Amino acid sequence: MHEFTPHSTPKETGWIEVIAGCMFSGKTEELIRRLRRANIAKLNVKIFKPKIDVRYSTSDIVSHSEQSLPSILVESANEILDHAKNAQVIGIDEAQFFNNELIEVCNKLANEGRRVIVAGLDQDYRGIPFEPIPQLLAVAEYITKTLAICVVCGNPADRTQRKIVSSERVLVGASDSYEARCRKCHYIPE
């Protein structure tokens, strides 16, 4: 995984960092790592996730390796603005579950001088770009693409393989219905 290493930390301005990748690629772990460091630096940190994601815990962000941080559940991206008033660093997990309103919200926060760190799936189970992540990648200053390991061939994996047949774009809380696959081994179940 790439480290977030800007050549110099931006001064007197906000910015957007996006951590994007498939399931099991360590997005949330990386988000938690950056937010912990911000906490240690005594910055005011607020963490958000969409109410749709209720696996493991209702109020923490939790990675597959069970690292966790307390977070605020919100129904819409605009609600983040209400809760983030004094926050210097804003973390947003499972960002693919927000709609495109999130792009404007992240830009607004960054324009106000805040550091915004967004983690989310960049492709759905078919390999189709999963908005609003592609748009956020375009407006972000710093991008990290996390890769998993293909369970079939061991190559670096950037696709999420759905192991059951369903045309729903999102199957919440069904992480055992997915695995990481590379481009060569990924297919659309039907």
CB 30 within 8 A of CB 19: yes
Which one, 139 or 152, has the nearer CB to Zn ion?
152
User: What b/e string do you get for 174-186 counting C-beta neighbours within 10 Å, with b at 16 or more?
Assistant: eeeebbbbbeebb
For residue 18, state whether it binds Zn ion (rule: CB under 5 A): no
Q: Which residues is 46 bridged to in the sheet?
A: 90
With contacts defined by CB under 5 A, name the span among 129-137, 140-148, 160-168, 174-182 that binds Zn ion. Answer: 174-182
The two tokens of residue 175 are: 């992480």
- Where b means 16+ CB within 10 Å and e means fewer, 156-166 reads ebbbbbbeeee
Is 149 an interacting residue with respect to Zn ion (CB under 5 A)? no
CB nearer to Zn ion: give 31 or 182: 182
Annotation says 94 is catalytic: yes
Residue 185 Cβ vs Zn ion, minimum distance, rounded to whole Å: 3
Binding of Zn ion at residue 182 (CB under 5 A)? yes
Positions 81 through 140 that interact with Zn ion (CB under 5 A): none
Q: Is 150 in the site for Zn ion (CB under 5 A)?
A: yes
Amino acid at 148: A
Active site members? 94
Binding residues vs Zn ion (CB under 5 A): 150, 152-153, 155, 182, 185
